């Protein structure tokens, strides 16, 4: 990832269509000094195998935590970032083609 994106330039990254599976450890993704929040598709319970999955990476210098929201039809990650002035909610959402929303 470092070859494509200079991680020192940004504090927050949001990705859709990561295609990541739970067998890939977040530490393997190259986000040093970042908290990584992911929603990987369960290929055993989903009828979808390709595409999808989302990720948000937040620099460790920011206070961030996962907001636990789940959906049967969406792949979503919501996080809360607390600053001295504000609370910020950021999400990454993937809507599969055959979703019933």
E strands of the chain, at which residues?
Answer: 12-16, 34-39, 54-59, 63-67, 75-82, 87-94
pLDDT in tens, 15-67: 887 777 777 777 777 788 899 998 887 655 556 666 678 899 999 999 999 99
Whole-model pTM: value is 0.81
Q: Assess whether pLDDT exceeds 90 at residue 92.
A: yes
Q: What is the pLDDT of residue 30?
A: 78
Phi/psi of residue 96, nearest 5 degrees: -60, 150
Q: Which pLDDT does position 21 carry in this prediction? A: 72
7-94 CATH pick, 3.40.50.720, 3.40.50.1820, 3.60.10.10, 3.40.640.10: 3.60.10.10
Q: Residue 2 — pLDDT band, cuts 50, 70, 90?
A: low
Q: How many beta carbons lie within 10 A of that of residue 52, not counting itself? A: 21
4 φ/ψ angles, rounded to the nearest 5 degrees: -105, -35
What is the spatial distance between Cα 64 and Cα 45, in angstroms, rounded to a whole number?
29
Residue 28's SS3 state is helix
């Amino acid at each position: 990832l470092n070859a494509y994106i200079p991680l020192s330039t940004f504090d927050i990254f949001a990705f859709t269509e990561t295609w990541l599976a739970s067998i890939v450890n977040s530490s393997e993704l190259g986000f040093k000094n970042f908290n990584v929040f992911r929603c990987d598709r369960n290929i055993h319970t989903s009828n979808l195998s390709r595409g999808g999955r989302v990720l948000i990476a937040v620099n460790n210098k920011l206070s961030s935590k996962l907001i636990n929201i789940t959906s049967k039809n969406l792949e979503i990650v919501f996080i809360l970032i607390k600053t001295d002035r504000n609370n910020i909610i950021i999400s990454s959402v993937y809507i599969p083609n055959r979703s019933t929303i």
